[in-house]
Each structure stands twice: as C-alpha cells, then as structure tokens.
Amino acid sequence: MSETLNCDVLVVGSGPGGYVAAIRAGQLGLDTILVEKDRLGGTCLIRGCIPSKALIEASERYAQACENAEGHGKIGISAAAPKLDFKQTIAWKNGITDQLSSGVEGLLKAANVRVVKGWAKFENAKTCRVGDIKIKAQNVILANGSTEVELPGLPFGGPVISSTEALDLAEVPKTMAVIGAGYIGMELGMAYRKLGCEIIFIEAGERILPGFDKQLTAPVTKWLRDHKVKVHMKSFAKSVTSKGGKHTLGFTDKDGKAQSLRVDKVLVTVGRIPCTDGWGLENMAVDMDGAFIKIDAQCRTAMRGVYAIGDVVGEPMLAHKATAQGEMVPEIIAGHKRAFTPTAIPAICFTDPEIVSVGMTPQQAKDKALDTVEGKFRWAANGRALTTGTAEGGGFVRVLARKDTGRILGIQAVGRHISELSGEFVLAVEMNATLEDLAGTIHAHPSLSEAFMEAGLSALGRPLHST
C-alpha cells in the first residue's frame, strides 16, 4: 500500500552536502526527510575521499617499512622485510568508513531527520516517489553528487575499473595502467606504486596535474621519476583486449603511433560528471548551466523552493564546498540572510608530496593585470620539516599579495603533510590578512607553520631564514 509523507525540507543524497543540510535543517526545527539509495555518507565517505586517504596512509606506512628493511632508511632504523595482508588493509579501510557512516546515522537521528532508503523519482518539483512511498515537500535540496566518467572505448568491467573499484581490489595488481594524470589518478596511482604495483600513466594533456602550476608539480614529477613510474603524455587510451586471462591496453603515443601495454588492471580516472539522469530532473522545471544545475548565490534554482548544492551545481567539485552550501541552505529556508560568496575554497591533492592551493595563483593575478609581490620559503630551511622528512623531495610555501596594500591574494604549497596547513591558508585569504599581519603573527617553533610566516617575510623583503 502506498504511503504519503509530508515535510518542510526534502534532501536528496547523503553526501557531505546532503547529510549536513539535513542535520542543519533538523537543528532549525524544520521537519526534514533525507532520501538515500546507498549507505549514508555518499561518495566522499564511502568510496572517495575517506577510503582513498586510508589507502594512501597504508601505502605510505608499507613503503616506509620496506625502506627500513632494505637498509635505505636515514635515521638508523632497520627491520625485517614487511608482509602485506591487503585483505586486512581493505578491511581496516572499510572499518573507518563503517564507523563514519554509523556516525552520520547517529547525527541525523539526533537532529530528528527521517531517513528513507531508496531511489527518489520526482513527479514534479516538490513531489517524489521512493518505491511505494510518496514524499511531498515544501522545500527540496538536491545533493545528488557526481559519478565517474566512462571512456567510450574502455567501458567499466573486467580489467577496466573506476576509482570506486580501485579502493576494493582483492589484491594488489602486478601492473596497472592509470588513464588520466589528474588528482584522482595521481593519488591512487602513487598509492599502488608504494604497495608494489608497477604503474604506467596515460595522459592526454601536456603535463600531470593540470590544475596546478609547474612549480607545484615539480616535486611530484621527481617522485614519479625516482620511483620509476612511466608517464606517457599527449597519449590516448583506445581499447583493452583480453586473451587467456591476460589483458592488453592499446593507446596512441605523443607521435600518434599505436602502442600497447600488458597490464592486470586499467584504472580510468578522467573526471567526474554530475548525477542528473534517472531521477526526474526533467520534471522539476529547473534551469541548467551546461551539464550542471544552475543556481544563484543562495543555491536557489529557477524553481521556487528548490535548491541544489555540491557536485551537481558545478566546479569546484569538492566535498568541503558541498558541506558549506549544505550548512547554508537550511538557514536560508528558515529565514536567515545568507549567501554563498567564499573568497577562497582550498584545493588539495594528496600525492607525495601533497599540494595545496588557496585563492589566486600568480598566473591568475597576471591575467587580471594585478601588481603583486611574491614570497617563497623552502621546506629545506624549516627545522620541523627536516625532522619529519617533509623537506625531502623539494617543496615550498608561496605567498602572493598585492604590492600596494600587502593584502594576501593566494597561497600555494607543496610538501608532505602540507594539507594540515590548508586551514591557516584559507583563513588568511578569507579574512583579508596582509603580509604584515602574517609576519606579525607569532608561529610556534618548531612547526611547519613557520614556513608560512617566513614566506610572508620573504614577500616583504626581509626574510630571516632564507636568502
């Protein structure tokens, strides 16, 4: 028998945008229903950000153990050759996602949010069906997320896997081709290389990690070279053929010549697209901006009372952007005056070493014809970086500021563990801090954060620990 539910707010999708929106709506006293077809937590928590970082951490620990066993360690530690139980590694990773998913469930329950399991199919802008349940809402928040892009000649299945399958392999492949040298491909490819897999990148562009400039990617390029990772630039994957349990990837190289590779797995990481098909978006009378749902600064769509957040509304397709929008929209529904106008949204690539970019880059400042000053501080001159191995392989912190006022416009950095400083970087930009503010803020010693202060001093022309 069909059941009809009514609510003030209907949230579709339980990723970092959707579940936060539902929690905040519940906290504000709005009768809220959350619809999710899969486990609570969405792509980021279940099959993206969190499990990939767990795999990256495990791979780094294994690589360090191997280094110590081989006698290449620099700090006098030696050990027996490590053994990798990859099934246990995956089980540990799954335990983390299980814990966080259960945590989300508890938070939703505490906020009095009703959770309906299943696939939402909209009949109109404010009414959807989830199986035999009809839901009518005063307001709708679409947080449907995104999914992996599939290449025409390399459909997912068999040896061809997406990032989702790469996080749940039964064993470490001996050889894996990674199609796409963007941040997802680089993160997973480097992790599997540390676990002992031979990795070959096939990239259509002219360089790796095109979202970051060459100064930032140089230490990553060095790591790839030092660890014998082959990268084919200006190359295009075409097809995979299988025979006798063995797989061959066909591709064209930078000269347009046909090449082939014998591989165990082919990981396709060429981007993500918004989930806009199969749930009745065409019945909601919203406007589109290309492949994405069009919104304004309050995440409102063209249909009154219908909002959209996260990956489904466009770049940057980052979890923390979705979370910020998810926290904001319920407050707007409740009558608060809010708008999504961040000065900067941090971008992080969890490669080895990590890369962080916040705010404006030097090239963007140049394109705007801004008169700027730049300061840089190398990790090799930071005491804490030297004691933690962060300085190995190069790396630096770079600060960009207006020449006339000293206002900080952007910060970029590359180095191990640098992601943990992203909060300080984005706060400086968001709060319109100046170089003098940065230089006048006492940073703890010894800490990695000192490098940020030193970069500011460098931009002011009075460096203390660099020349």
Q: State residue 126's pLDDT score.
A: 97
Query: Quick one: average pLDDT of 1-23?
Result: 95
Query: Quick one: average pLDDT of 336-362?
Result: 97
Query: Quick one: average pLDDT of 6-31?
Result: 98
- The pLDDT tens digits for 351-383 are 999 999 999 999 999 999 999 999 999 999 999
Query: Quick one: average pLDDT of 189-200?
Result: 98
* Residue 459 near residue 397, CB atoms below 8 Å: no
Q: State residue 208's pLDDT score.
A: 97
CA dihedral 134, 136, 137, 141 (to 10 degrees): 40
Check pLDDT > 90 for residue 58.
yes
How far is the CA of 377 from the CAs of 260, 350, 396, 462, in angstroms?
43, 21, 5, 12
**Pairing between β-strand 246-252 and β-strand 236-243 as defined by DSSP bridges:** antiparallel
HEC-encoded secondary structure of 440-460:
CCCCCCCCCCHHHHHHHHHHC
Phi, psi of 291 (to 5 degrees): -85, -10
- The pLDDT tens digits for 202-217 are 999 999 999 999 999 9
Q: State residue 449's pLDDT score.
A: 95
Rounded to whole angstroms, the Cα distance separating 467 from 464 reads 8
- What is the end-to-end Cα distance of the chain in Å, rounded? 77
- The pLDDT tens digits for 404-416 are 999 999 999 999 9
Query: Quick one: average pLDDT of 427-453?
Result: 96
Q: What DSSP assignment string belongs to 211-259? A: TS-HHHHHHHHHHHHHTT-EEETT-EEEEEEEETTEEEEEEE-TTS-EE
pTM for the structure as a whole: 0.94
Q: State residue 71's pLDDT score.
A: 66
Q: Write down how long the chain is.
A: 467
Q: Which domains does the chain have, with CATH numbers?
A: 3-146+274-333 (3.50.50.60), 160-270 (3.50.50.60), 347-459 (3.30.390.30)
Q: State residue 334's pLDDT score.
A: 98
Phi, psi of 293 (to 5 degrees): -80, 130
For 256, other C-beta atoms within 10 Å of its C-beta total: 9
Average pLDDT, the chain: 95
Catalytic annotation, residues:
445
List, in order, residues 6 or more apart from 349 with CB less than 8 Å away. Answer: 183, 186, 187, 209, 211, 212, 355, 356
Query: Quick one: average pLDDT of 388-394?
Result: 83
How far is the CA of 17 from the CAs of 135, 142, 164, in angstroms?
20, 9, 20
Check pLDDT > 60 for residue 1.
no
Query: Quick one: average pLDDT of 163-175?
Result: 96
Rounded to whole angstroms, the Cα distance separating 145 from 78 reads 46
β strands within 143-191, DSSP E: 146-148, 160-161, 175-179
Check pLDDT > 60 for residue 46.
yes
Q: State residue 292's pLDDT score.
A: 98
| DSSP at 261 | E
Structure tokens at 413: 């950095």
Question: Which among 125, 154, 155, 158 is positioned nearest to 142, based on CA atoms?
Answer: 125
Structure tokens at 245: 């349990």
Percent of the chain with pLDDT over 90: 91
Rounded to whole angstroms, the Cα distance separating 399 from 20 reads 32
Rounded to whole angstroms, the Cα distance separating 235 from 207 reads 11
